[in-house]
Chains A and B, each alone.
Chain A
Amino acid sequence: MLTSVGRGLVSPAPVIHANGVAVRHIDADTPVPAGASLSAHPGEVVLLLGPSGSGKSTFALTLNGLIPHHLDAEVTGDVVIGDAAASASTVAELSSRVALVFQDPDAQIVTARVRDEVAFGPENLRVPLAEIATRVEAALRRLDLWERRDDDPDILSGGGRQRLAIAAALAMGTPAIVLDEPTANLDPAGAAEVFAALRDLASAGDHAIVVIEHDLDELVEVAHRVVVLDATGRTVADGSVDDVLRARAAELDALGVWLPAVTLAALRLQRAGVPIERMPLTAAELRAAVAAAPPIDATADAPSSSAARTPADASRTSPAANAVEVSGLTLRHGRDEVLHDVSLTIAAGEFVAIVGPNGAGKTTLAQAIAGVRRTPRGTVHVRGADVARRRTTRRIGFVFQNPEHQFVAPTVREELAYSLRGRSAAEVAERVDAMLERFDLTAHATRHPFLLSGGQKRRLSVATALIGGADVLVLDEPTYGQDRARADELLRLLGDLHAQGTTVVVVTHDMQVVAEHAERVLVIERGRVIADASPAVLFADEPLVRRARLRVPPLRVAFADLPGQPALSGVMRLADLDAVRGTTVAG
């Protein structure tokens, strides 16, 4: 169905054409998305954006017929793939036209060997073995995995496994590929690998690619077109990166769409009166825009770091006030030594981030501190008491990466009361009510914890940790797999707790979180603490950042050593920009 006129292709027909798609899940009242439209042509990279819950993932599943053919839902609107309506095609037919790559690499790998994995799809389509072999080799070479063809996918890195999923999608031989947040579960280095692979695919120009992604910093340079859904899942923008992301940035921000951090920064500067003509999308663009602006002031009362820093600094001098002391801690998993002679101190009231590559031992260290993992006597002290000597440590709360793992009771109320066993009923009721109120869970008190939304579950797990009287909170990757709105909500909550004096320790891969909230960063590599510094010092040390597989947050890249704008030089927190005043020059 190529409309070719004369000698050249004037406009190839779209591979994917969806118009006014609405999907109602069987147990839902209203359809989400409620009217999504999108088309993708060969050689084109389309970025699909929308606030959380706007139905992006649902929409993606309609594009290759999994909805409604395999999941019960009511679909209206048209989805045309190539030259056939999706509703009239089987999933088998559609799977050779549109391939899907999902968010979680572990939930889409089904075999125990890299090359079997890539062959799995074509085998299902009854492709002859000889052709499968060619396709497998081509796909693996393209994603730079050919050397790993006989490996078990489990030993690949997260980024490697996600590239394997893309190779498996390629081997389906489809003209279109849809990726649903392919980097959401990866550490910075893994995400970078996947972006590089996407860049390669895009530049070859032989596929129509639709990407749903929150992390736009690298993708904006690759994308041709941007489609935006509003909260109900209606397409409200469809155009070039310039027309949509740059021209309507403020509108998208208001919608709740996640924008690049540098764009958010530029919006704040604009609001503060700094003239910015062309909305920047990359660190380099923001840097240029700011350099070109008239001098910028920062108001004197800038809360340059959170107010709670003062008590922490004061207490660091008196060892009795140390929240956590680790000395000479060595831990092993089976035969492998995972932590080697680690010593560190965390002062009361500090906000500390623990960062480092996958497998470095961050979780092990955090669990040891919180008493979740047994430690040798005398190695870990919380508030001066040896963790190994007491069965439970009420002074310190641990929040697991998946909050569901730690819920023990069938209702929210009982969950909170569980930590108060042994106290009078009246006291329990009073404290539980107060906690429910404080964490905005009162309306859900009688629900099963598993039925809460992701953000509510996380709040409940923090509440559970605190209700026992903990004033030290340790969280393992609290923003992992969470959407932006939930992540922001949680971080605000942690900020508040910290301001009220709670000591907070966060294990994270999110460098913007580190830059925004941490007062101190511990970098763990191969079981050792290789750096202990403030975020500003850490991110200035480029070799260290590379060695620990971290990433310098884009704001820091944009504002590092700005000679013309001393007020902004070195800024890396969005919050710091609130203090900025542009010298309002008319025009």
Chain B
Amino acid sequence: MAARPSALSTRVLLICAAIGVATGLLGGIAGWITPIVIATAPMLYGLVLGVHVLPGIIAQEVVRLPWVALLAHVLAALVASATSPQWAGRYIGTALLIGGIQEGVAALTRYRSWAPWRFFVSAVIVGAIIAVVVALIVDLGSFAPWVQAAYLTISVLGPVAWTAVGLAVGARLRSAGVAARR
């Protein structure tokens, strides 16, 4: 009979895409802060950057299945790349990085634990890796020690804060009866 790999049913694929696109649009609203942040308190940029964890968190909260975090990120990146191919490299790189980490942490618990602590573990790892990558690019080693410390803290805090937001949205969605079925 219809062999359907459960994680890749069209329904799950499109739900992930919808979550990716919708969070992208919501992130756009938060996006107006970005130039202000960069101009006034650039160190807080890590906080804004953390918004990129949302698709994976919400996807895992709404559809508790393997692959959904990575799919939500990758599908959102593919949609964005099709709209503006110039930025495809950026979109897809970020998606693989963040989605991969979120997926990896979920895989480590064999997709059995969906408790909040698990989401926060992946948030801290995402924050740490983003911090390292950005530190390399901006040559953090040459910066003043207080800058380095503040920068690292904020890079990790950003994803953690946004993960809390994502969990709250996911809880609201479930209480609204969205995608409770598999």
Contacts and interface: CB of A to CB of B under 8 A. Distances in A.
Contacts of A69: 1-2, 4
B175 A26 contact: no
B181 interface: yes
B38 interface: no
B9 A27 contact: no
**Residue among A72, A448, A451 facing the most chain B CB atoms (10 A cut-off):** A448
Contacts of B172: 410
Contacts of B2: 65, 69-70, 90-92
A450 B176 contact: yes
A449 B178 CA distance: 12
B181 A72 contact: yes
B7 to A, nearest CB: 14
Contacts of B175: 410, 448
B182 A72 contact: yes
Given A72-B182, A410-B172, A451 B177 contact: yes
Nearest to A92: B2
A403 to B, nearest CB: 13
Nearest to A411: B175
Contact of B177 (A70, A90, A450): A450
Interface in A6-60: 26-27
Contacts of A410: 172, 175-176
Identify whether the interface residues of B are mostly helix, strand, loop, or mixed: loop
**Residue among A26, A65, A92, A450 facing the most chain B CB atoms (10 A cut-off):** A450
Given A69-B1, A69-B2, A70-B9, A26 B181 contact: yes
Contacts of B10: 70
B85 to A, nearest CB: 15
Given A26-B181, A27-B181, A70 B4 contact: yes
Contacts of A92: 2
A188 to B, nearest CB: 32
Interface residues of B, number: 14
A449 B175 CA distance: 10
B148 to A, nearest CB: 42
B8 to A, nearest CB: 12
Contacts of A70: 2, 4, 9-11
Interface in B157-182: 172, 175-178, 180-182
B1 A90 contact: yes
Could you say which interface size class chain A belongs to? 10 to 19
Nearest to B182: A72
Interface string A72-93: 1000000000000000101110
A451 B1 contact: no
Nearest to A27: B181
Contact of A448 (B9, B176, B181, B182): B176
Interface in A410-455: 410, 448-451
Interface in B125-182: 172, 175-178, 180-182
Contacts of B181: 26-27, 72
B172 to A, nearest CB: 7
Contact of B176 (A27, A72, A91, A451): A451
Interface in A439-475: 448-451
Interface string B15-37: 00000000000000000000000
A109 to B, nearest CB: 13
A252 B182 CA distance: 37
Given A69-B1, A70-B2, A90-B2, A450 B178 contact: yes
Contacts of B11: 70
Contacts of A90: 1-2
A88 B1 CA distance: 7
A470 B29 CA distance: 31
Interface in A505-535: none
A448 B1 contact: no
Contacts of A88: 1
A90 B180 CA distance: 26
Nearest to B2: A69
A69 B3 CA distance: 9
A509 to B, nearest CB: 28
Contacts of A451: 176-177
A508 B176 CA distance: 29
Nearest to B82: A112
B163 to A, nearest CB: 21
A110 to B, nearest CB: 10
A448 B4 contact: no
Nearest to A407: B176
B180 to A, nearest CB: 8
Nearest to A449: B176
Nearest to A93: B2
Nearest to B171: A410
A27 B4 CA distance: 21
Contacts of A26: 181
A69 to B, nearest CB: 4
B98 to A, nearest CB: 27
A70 B10 CA distance: 9
A118 to B, nearest CB: 19
A244 B32 CA distance: 62
A402 to B, nearest CB: 14
A118 B177 CA distance: 34
Contacts of B1: 69, 88, 90
A450 B10 CA distance: 24
Nearest to B172: A410
A72 B10 CA distance: 14
B112 to A, nearest CB: 22
A420 to B, nearest CB: 22
Contacts of A449: 176
A23 to B, nearest CB: 15
26 contacts: A27-B180, A27-B181, A65-B2, A69-B1, A69-B4, A70-B2, A70-B9, A70-B10, A70-B11, A72-B181, A72-B182, A88-B1, A90-B2, A91-B2, A92-B2, A410-B172, A410-B175, A410-B176, A448-B176, A448-B177, A449-B176, A450-B176, A450-B177, A450-B178, A451-B176, A451-B177
Kindly list the 8 A-B residue pairs having the minimum CB-CB distance in the complex, ordered from nearest. Answer: A450-B176, A69-B2, A451-B177, A448-B176, A90-B2, A448-B175, A91-B2, A450-B177
Given A70-B9, A448-B177, 18 more contacts: A27-B180, A27-B181, A69-B4, A70-B2, A70-B4, A70-B10, A70-B11, A72-B181, A72-B182, A88-B1, A90-B1, A90-B2, A410-B172, A410-B176, A448-B175, A450-B177, A450-B178, A451-B176
Interface of A: 26-27, 65, 69-70, 72, 88, 90-92, 410, 448-451
